[in-house]
Amino acid sequence: MSPAMSFSVAKDSTQYPVLRNLQFSPIQQGEDQLIVLWDPSGLSKEKLVLPLNFFFIVQHFDGEHSLQEIGTLYLKRFGEFLLPSKVEQLVSDLEQKLFLEGARTEAAWQQAQVDYRQRPTRPAAFAGRSYEADGAKLRKQIDGFFTSGEGPDFKPSENRDKLIKGLVAPTYDLKQAGSVYAWGYKELQEAQRPDVYVIIGTAHAGLETLFAVTDKDFETPLGVVPVDQPIVKGLKAAALEFFEEDIVHQSEHAIEFQLPFLQTIVGKPFTIVPILSSFSALSLNDPAVRSSVDRFLDVLREAIATSRKTVCVIAAGELAHLGLRYGDSAPPTDFSFHRSMQRDLEMLKPVEELKPEEFAGFIQKENDQRRISGFSPIYSLLRLIQAEKGQVLRYDRGITDQYNSTVTYASMAFF
């Protein structure tokens, strides 16, 4: 048979189930250690709490292991037979919750896409959860991040009245990391402000197309933030494929968390270009990934140039992810955190020096063992802006569970 005539037989998804790209976290209930699963894309609003032996099962739902093979592995691991009825019930629960790949999930995605595109705006998804839902209270909350003991002092910036070219900001919960955001946005507050903010945020649920742009204005409790239609239309005309996964904006917080700061600080009308990205430093070694990244950044650069507007690029993303929640075999210690902090600050040196390939190379040498989730927006920022220097303004971490799992983040400014 010639290569053109060859084919492969698709595996039966009922016997070779495939778990979607879910997030998980260990939790302790009494004497029991459990794992909670949820969907970062927001397609499913459900959560599922599993004992460790059932979590072992779903970790093998990769489309490569049959249920029978998983039963054999389970017997070796736990020394007991896995009843088929229990596995069938687990598969059914996961399918009902849209946690498995398949026809049910695909139909739900298509309907969600239709619903999202019919909306006039992108609603505020995290108001009342991660920040105040009332406009007056939100302004007071944002002001409090600047004036708190952890916030920036009132000393004038050395970059006062210069045109700001870029910012790096966290995407961590505002109630915990708000003062770190404030260090970056204070530089914007004192700078000469641009017309447009190109916000490139981490797509925590992942992306097939590496970048996803939406043309929808964003709602917040402080009003509607308009999208820069000329730039976005230029992008759409040149690279429509980067709008295919626009639905990921619906439940992603990375861009939303920047907007109350912009609305509070920027005194003149402004527009945004909302972009989500998802690729790792290691993936840039794949020529197809590299080509796609280059294509998008070239098209975006051209659209910005054509607009003749002044632009600030905001990279919204975090740094290292340490601990059981992120796949490490043990919780981080004070020693391992401080060692990671040193590595983070060393990693950010080429970012300050606007050297994107050295930034990528640093993470590649580490084999991305610390899971730098903000790599793609920060790398994209470095490829887009023309600045003289960058500076780390503030660095901190957040504890994400009772096992001390840790996320690190920083604010930076570029002039």
117 belongs to a structural domain: no
Residues 226, 98, single domain; the answer is: no
pLDDT higher than 50, residue 318:
yes
One domain, residues 178 and 323: yes
Q: How many domains does the chain have?
A: 2
**Domain-embedded: residue 1:** no
Angstrom distance (rounded) from CA 148 to CA 151: 5
pLDDT tens readout for residues 106-120? 999 999 999 999 999
pLDDT tens, 38-65? 999 989 999 999 999 999 999 999 999 9
Domain boundary residue among 63, 85, 110?
Answer: 110
Question: Are 365 and 245 within one domain?
Answer: yes
Query: In this structure, are 93 and 149 located in the same domain?
Result: no
Q: What is the reported pLDDT for 6? A: 38
Is 355's pLDDT higher than 60? yes
Indicate whether 313 and 364 sit together in one domain: yes
pLDDT tens digits, residue range 122-163?
999 999 999 999 999 999 999 999 999 999 987 889 999 999
Q: Is residue 82 part of a domain?
A: yes
pLDDT band for position 5 (50/70/90)? Answer: very low
Specify the CATH number for the domain of residue 18. Answer: 3.90.930
**Residues 252, 137 within the same domain:** yes
Among the listed residues 265, 273, 262, 260, the one whose alpha carbon sits nearest the alpha carbon of residue 174: 260
Residue range of the domain that includes 279: 123-414
Q: Is residue 228 part of a domain?
A: yes
Helix (H, G, I), strand (E, B) or coil at 414: strand
Mean pLDDT of all residues belonging to the chain: 94
- Exposed / middle / buried, residue 203 (Cβ in 10 Å: 0-12, 13-18, 19+): buried
Looking at residue 14, its pLDDT comes to: 78
Can you give the pLDDT at residue 130? Answer: 95
8 pLDDT more than 50? no
Cα angle for residues 125, 129, 130 (degrees, 5° grid): 90
Predicted confidence (pLDDT) per residue in 71-100, tens digit: 999 999 999 999 989 999 999 999 999 999
User: Does residue 188 fall inside a structural domain?
Assistant: yes
Last residue of a domain, one of 83, 110, 137: 110
Is the same domain home to 106 and 127? Answer: no
Q: Which helix (H) or strand (E) holds 376?
A: helix 375-384
Q: Are residues 182 and 305 in the same domain?
A: yes
Domain termination site, one of 79, 110, 141: 110
- Measured CA distances, 350 to 386, 389, 390 (Å): 15, 10, 9
Q: Once rounded to an integer, what is the mean pLDDT over residues 341-367?
A: 98
Following DSSP, what letter does each residue of 40-93 receive, concatenated? TTSS---EEEEEHHHHHHHTTTBTTS-HHHHHHHHHHHHSS---HHHHHHHHHH
Buried b (16+ CB within 10 A) or exposed e, 388-400: eebebbbbbbbeb
Provide the greatest CA pair distance for the chain: 75
In the structure, what pLDDT confidence band is assigned to residue 3 with cuts at 50, 70 and 90?
very low
CA distances from 230 to 217, 226, 305, 333, 386 (A): 13, 12, 11, 49, 21
What is the percentage of the chain residues whose pLDDT exceeds 90? 90
- Give the pLDDT score at 136: 97
Say if CB 64 and CB 271 are below 8 A apart.
no
* For residues 262-271, average pLDDT: 94
* CB contact at 8 A, 55 and 24: yes
Contact 130, 175 (CB under 8 A): yes
Q: Are residues 261 and 371 in the same domain?
A: yes
Dump the DSSP string for 259-313. HHHHHHH--S--EEEEEEE---TGGGGSHHHHHHHHHHHHHHHHHHHHHT--EEE
Residues 273 and 242 in one domain: yes
Q: Is the pLDDT of residue 284 over 80?
A: yes
Q: Count Cβ atoms within 10 A of the Cβ of residue 266 and give its class: 0-12 exposed, 13-18 middle, 19 or more buried.
A: middle
- For the sheet containing 121-122, what is the strand order? 121-122, 217-220, 223-225
DSSP 398: E
Structure tokens at 68: 């029978």
Asked if 138 and 154 touch (Cβ cutoff 8 Å), the reply is no
pLDDT tens column, 365-392: 999 999 999 999 999 999 999 999 999 9
217 inside domain: yes
| Helix spans in 119-200 (H) | 135-147, 174-190
Integer-rounded Cα Rg, in Å, for the chain is 22
Can you give the pLDDT at residue 30? 84
For the domain that residue 149 is a member of, what is the CATH number? 3.40.830.10
Check whether 350 has a pLDDT greater than 80. yes
Tell whether 202 and 274 lie within a shared domain.
Answer: yes
Q: Both tokens of residue 131?
A: 């920040």
Q: What span, in angstroms and rounded, lies between the C-alpha atoms of 59 and 37?
A: 11
Supply the pLDDT for residue 7.
40
What does the CA dihedral 169, 364, 350, 397 come to, rounded to 10 degrees?
30
Residues 30 and 160 in one domain: no
For residues 307-338, one letter each, b for 16 or more C-beta atoms within 10 angstroms of the residue's C-beta and e for the rest, the string is beeebbbbbbbbbbbbbbbbebeebbeeeebe
